[in-house]
Amino acid sequence: MTNKQVNLAVIGAGAMGQNHIRFIQEEIGSELVAIADAYEGAKNIAEKAGVPFYQDYTKMMEDVKPDGIIIVTPNHLHLPIAREALKRGIPVLVEKPISDDLEDAKKFAKESKAANVPVLVGQHRRYNPFVNAAKQVIDRGELGKLTVASFHYMIYKEDNYFDVEWRRKKGAGPILVNLVHDVDLLRYLIGEVDAVQALSSSSARGFETEDSAVVNVHFKSGALASMTLSDATVSPWNWEATAREDAQYRPFDADAYFIGGTKGSLSLPRLHHFAYNGEPSWHKPLKLVINPVDPQLPHKMQLKHFIQVILKNEEPIVTPDDNVKTLETLMAIKQATETKELVTLS
């Protein structure tokens, strides 16, 4: 398929869905052609956007026949919708995680391969230029053998965020809703995980799902990491407040991730690279290098990539198989919080 403007539909018109709608409208290579949402009140969003509204997403697929679909629904609805799209040969961008059911996610990964229809999973931080600059530093061996890392997601979600019932129920919570991003980058930057330990708490809000957790991670390489997450903690130590990806978050000059090795260490998103001149020694002064990076909005870069995937100019950066590995790690973390035991990944 040659370069052209692609027609896109969005299924799910909540807060994140509305962001996707705006990105499509702002992107010269795409046109918004329909919005679907089970909630009839979302019709006014479609009216403002000037596109047809559907409560039945399958009817939307049949009537509109979009070139691609972005699925931005609660986690348990991702795969039923994606399967309907695949039946019709429509490429999809599925928001993370592809499912809250690991076995179904594995099944879907096989189905998507058999269907030969492109599926891109919405791990938008993979498109962040600061993340990819860090990946280059690590891959060039500038940090030496990776030893330890510390990842933080500590934020306070206002009470009305939880007025939506599914956000209070099992299957939601910061481990599956938010930590999925951090685990994806943990794998992307450091490597595959082979064991986890974790503790969680719901004491701040008392919902079915956790509001806070701490996680220890062991990698196949022998490196170790700790992860601290909470959606009930006031702090700037989270990706949203530091990465400048979304204008609704006031940016702070701080970091959320710290990655160390035998030759140096690196923080993200500021890309503070610490190392010694010559052979490392704790008696020598550390030098700090901050490499300049041209900032880009990852969601917009992800949309541009999805357009190229639809046009068959590029292969999906994050596939269902890739996201299954992230989901396996997340499910191991959930299991560890419940059993209080070390959980080994296959």
Residue 21's CB: how many other CB atoms inside 10 A? Answer: 24
Whether pLDDT at 3 is above 60: no
Q: What is d(CA 215, CA 196) in angstroms, rounded to the nearest whole number?
A: 7
Residue pLDDT, tens place only, 324-333: 999 999 999 9
Mean pLDDT of the chain: 94
Predicted confidence band at 187 (pLDDT cuts at 50, 70, 90)? very high
CATH topology of domain 126-295+328-344: Dihydrodipicolinate Reductase; domain 2 (3.30.360)
Q: What residue spans in the chain does CATH classification 3.40.50.720 cover?
A: 6-124+299-317
Whether pLDDT at 23 is above 50: yes
Whether pLDDT at 337 is above 90: yes
Output the CA torsion 322→121→170→207 (10° steps): 120
Q: What is the pLDDT of residue 203?
A: 95
Residue 177's CB: how many other CB atoms inside 10 A? Answer: 20
* 127 three-class SS: helix
Whether the CB-CB separation of 130 and 268 falls below 8 Å is answered with yes
Q: What is the pLDDT of residue 247?
A: 62
Q: What residue spans in the chain does CATH classification 3.30.360.10 cover?
A: 126-295+328-344
Q: Per-residue pLDDT averaged across 39-46, rounded?
A: 94
* 343 three-class SS: strand
Predicted confidence band at 172 (pLDDT cuts at 50, 70, 90)? confident
DSSP state string for 245-312? --TTSPP-S--SEEEEESSEEEEETT-EEEE-SSS--TTSPPEEEE-------HHHHHHHHHHHHHTT
Whether pLDDT at 157 is above 50: yes
Query: Strand locations in 37-128, DSSP E?
Result: 53-54, 68-71, 92-95, 119-122
Whether pLDDT at 249 is above 70: no
Whether pLDDT at 1 is above 50: no
Q: Per-residue pLDDT averaged across 236-259, rounded?
A: 84
Q: For the chain, what is the radius of gyration of the CA atoms?
A: 21
Predicted confidence band at 284 (pLDDT cuts at 50, 70, 90)? very high
- Note the CATH architecture for domain 6-124+299-317: 3-Layer(aba) Sandwich (3.40)
Answering whether pTM is above 0.85, one says: yes
Paired residues of 337 in beta bridges: none
Q: What is the pLDDT of residue 245?
A: 76
